Amino acid sequence: MEANNKSMNQKYFIGIDLSKGKIDCAVMTSDIHLLLEKVVKNDLDRIKSFINAFIRKQKCKASDLLICCENTGIYCRPLEKVCVELGVDLWVENAVKIKRASTDMRGKSDRKDAERIAEYAVRYIDRKVLFLPSSDDVLELRALAKTRETLINNKKGFECQLNEAKSHDPKLFKTLSKMYKPFIRMYTKTIAENDKMMDEVIERNIELKANSDLVQSIPGVGKQVAVQFIIYTNNFQDFTSAKHLACYAGVVPFENESGKLIKRRRVSKMANLKLKSILHMAAMSAVRGKNDLGEYYVRKVSQGKNKMSVINAVRNKLVHRIWAVVERQSAYKIELT
């Protein structure tokens, strides 16, 4: 869990705006001089050819380049693979951060967005967080988790229609049951098989198994919470501190003041909402149990604190506990009072 920043020795900053079929590239120097603009097909070979051609033309090294792009999910994959293969530093940043840091928001186009991303990389190079490739097991775990989410959502869709028909239209319920129940049984079986495959991936990888067990030693934290944290943190390699991770999960309250107007502290919307949702379920489970977090929740609410603010504090505590057990590689110990 070490920082993955390297020395700030890059000469060329390539801002890339990603889309399904193409990438818009804008190359800037350290003095924010726009050197080159180019549109390249979002394909492994085309991206590799563009970067290699640029290196040859400028007579520079791969280490002289810093590529920055927004996190666009699967559209990033070809670029990630090329950068790893060529040894080029890649910074995958939150799109909202780049937008809010832009000094010029006049006009909107893919070309202009690429320029803004390149300028962001130049101006905020001291804050860069370099991309680290995930292991094959983490990638497989991510794919299985995505599959599980899709299967569960589809199953819930069928079940919701059945429940509504059962309570309001018995005739429709009878018809839907014949059509939907085989699918529900199929989804239930497939979800169980998917969960088994996820368990197998974790069991065969010593590091994943160790961190999964450590995280689950915390009251309120179950297997799915552990899996999601492993996926979204790249097995805790992509973050440098508990606070860094808590900010990413959207559970850190920030000041909300302007002049003499002082409002209640609020969490930022720049967060991973999936991880925040998972944390919320873990927090609700924790406060219902007989443990220090449950006692903390009851005590704070009885003092008149806002319930959601207390729940968020519990979410924050859970993140810090998750980070602590992984960092020290020892299970959580319940302190008896």
pLDDT of residue 3: 43
For the entire predicted model, the pTM comes to 0.82
Question: 205-255: per-residue pLDDT in tens?
Answer: 999 999 999 999 999 999 999 999 999 999 999 898 999 999 989 888 755
4 sits in which H/E element:
none
Phi, psi (degrees; rounded to nearest 5) at 17: -100, 115
Q: Extract the tokens encoding 168.
A: 């309001």
pLDDT of residue 129: 87
Long-range contacts, 252-257 (Cβ 8 Å, 24+):
252/316, 253/309, 253/312
Q: Which amino acid is at 136?
A: D
List the domain boundaries for the chain.
Answer: 12-127, 136-203, 223-328
pLDDT of residue 272: 83
Q: Extract the tokens encoding 33.
A: 């001089």
For residues 54 and 27, the answer to whether their CB atoms sit within 8 Å is yes
pLDDT of residue 2: 44
Q: Which amino acid is at 121?
A: A
Question: 278-292: per-residue pLDDT in tens?
Answer: 999 999 999 998 889
Q: What class is the 12-127 domain?
A: alpha beta
Q: Extract the tokens encoding 138.
A: 């983490």
Calculated CA dihedral for residues 190, 273, 233, 283, nearest 10 degrees: -80
pLDDT of residue 105: 61
pLDDT of residue 173: 92
Q: Which amino acid is at 82?
A: V
pLDDT of residue 9: 76
Q: What is the total residue count of the chain? A: 337
Sign of CA dihedral 205, 210, 213, 215: negative
pLDDT of residue 260: 53
Ranges under pLDDT 70 in the chain: 1-8, 103-107, 254-270, 335-337
pLDDT of residue 290: 86
